[in-house]
Amino acid sequence: MVLSADWGHEMTPRITTFNEFRDAVSGYRLPRVLLAGLELDLFTTVGERSWTIAELAKVLHVSERGLAILCRNLAMAGVLQKKGATYKNSRLGATALNANHPAYRGSYLDLIKSHWMDWLRLLESVRSGLPIDHDVPDSPDYRRRFTWAMHHRTLETAPAIAAQVNVRQAKTFLDLGGGPGTYAMAFLAKNPQLRATVCDREAALDVAQEIAATHRAGRRLSYLPLDFTRTSIPGTYDVIWYSNVLHIYSPADNQVIFKRALAALNPGGRLIVQDAFLHDREGLFPAEASLFAVSMLLFTEGGNTYSAAEISKWLKDTGFGRVKVLRVKKGSEDWEDGILEAVAPGSRPKMIARRTRSKGSSRAR
Ligand SMILES: C[S@@+](CC[C@H](N)C(=O)[O-])C[C@H]1O[C@@H](n2cnc3c(N)ncnc32)[C@H](O)[C@@H]1O
248 CB less than 6 Å from ligand 1? yes
Q: What pLDDT is attached to residue 12?
A: 56
Tell the CATH topology of 7-94: Arc Repressor Mutant, subunit A (1.10.10)
Surface-to-core class of residue 102, CB atoms within 10 Å of its CB (0-12 exposed, 13-18 middle, 19+ buried): exposed
> Atom 12, ligand 1: which residue's CA is nearest?
177
Average of per-residue pLDDT across 53-74: 98
Which residue CA neighbors atom 15 of ligand 1 most closely?
177
**Residues 35-55: pLDDT tens digits?**
999 999 999 999 999 999 999
Tell which phi-psi region holds residue 244, choosing left (phi > 0), alpha (psi between -120 and 50) or beta.
left
CA of 40 to the centre of ligand 1 (A): 31
Task: Give 190 Cα–ligand 1 centroid separation in angstroms.
Answer: 22
Does the Cβ of 229 fall within 6 Å of ligand 1?
yes
Distance 353 CA to ligand 1 centre (A): 25
Residue owning the nearest CA to atom 3 of ligand 1: 244
Q: Is the pLDDT of residue 236 over 60?
A: yes
**Ligand 1 atom nearest 334 alpha carbon:** 8
Q: Going by CATH, does the domain composed of 140-363 fall within 3.20.20.80? A: no
How much is the pLDDT for 13?
61
Q: Is the CB of 200 under 6 A from ligand 1?
A: yes
Going from the Cα of 71 to the center of ligand 1, the distance in angstroms, rounded, reads: 37
**Burial category of 195 from C-beta neighbours within 10 Å (exposed 0-12, middle 13-18, buried 19 and up):** middle
- Angstrom distance (rounded) from CA 12 to CA 363: 24
> Span 325-331, mean pLDDT?
93
Rounded to the nearest angstrom, the distance between the alpha carbon of 158 and the centre of ligand 1 is: 15
pLDDT of the residue at 337: 80
Residue 88 Cα to ligand 1 midpoint, Å, equals 38
Indicate if the pLDDT at residue 364 is higher than 90.
no
Q: Which segments within 220-357 are labelled E, that is strand?
A: 221-225, 237-243, 265-274, 277-278, 306-307, 323-326, 339-343
Q: What integer best gives the mean pLDDT of the chain?
A: 92
Note the pLDDT tens digit of each residue in 164-193.
999 999 999 999 999 999 999 999 999 999
Q: Which residue has the higher pLDDT, 16 or 347?
A: 16
**pLDDT band at residue 341 using 50, 70 and 90 as cut-offs:** very high
pLDDT at residue 4, rounded to an integer: 36
Asked whether the predicted pLDDT for residue 115 surpasses 80, the reply is yes
Which residue, judged by its Cα, is nearest atom 13 of ligand 1?
177
Evaluate if residue 98 carries a pLDDT over 60: yes
Number of residues that make up the chain: 365
Q: Supply the pLDDT for residue 361.
A: 37
Please state whether beta strands 86-89 and 51-52 pair in parallel, antiparallel, or not at all (unpaired).
Answer: antiparallel
Q: Output the 3-class SS for 109-131.
A: HHHHHHHHHHHCCHHHHHHHCCC
Residue extents of the structural domains in the chain? 7-94, 140-363
Mean pLDDT of 130-151: 94
Q: Measured from the CB, is residue 227 less than 6 Å from ligand 1?
A: yes
Among 141, 152, 176, 200, say which to mutate for ligand 1: greatest number of ligand atoms within 8 Å of CB.
200
Q: For residue 360, is pLDDT > 50?
A: no
Q: What percent of the chain has pLDDT over 90?
A: 88
- The residue nearest atom 5 of ligand 1, judged by CA position, is 178
Distance 187 CA to ligand 1 centre (A): 17
**Mean pLDDT, to the nearest integer, of 240-252?**
98
**Cβ(147) – ligand 1 distance below 6 Å:** yes
* pLDDT > 90? residue 134: no
pLDDT at 263: 98
Nearest CA to ligand 1 atom 27: 179
Identify the CA nearest to 125 among candidates 294, 303, 245.
294
Q: Cis ω on the peptide bond leading into residue 102 (within 30° of 0)?
A: no
Question: What pLDDT is stored for residue 64 in this prediction?
Answer: 98
- Whole-prediction pTM value? 0.91
Which pLDDT band, with edges at 50, 70 and 90, does 135 fall under?
Answer: confident
* Each residue's pLDDT tens digit, 258-307: 999 999 999 999 999 999 999 988 999 999 999 999 999 999 999 999 99
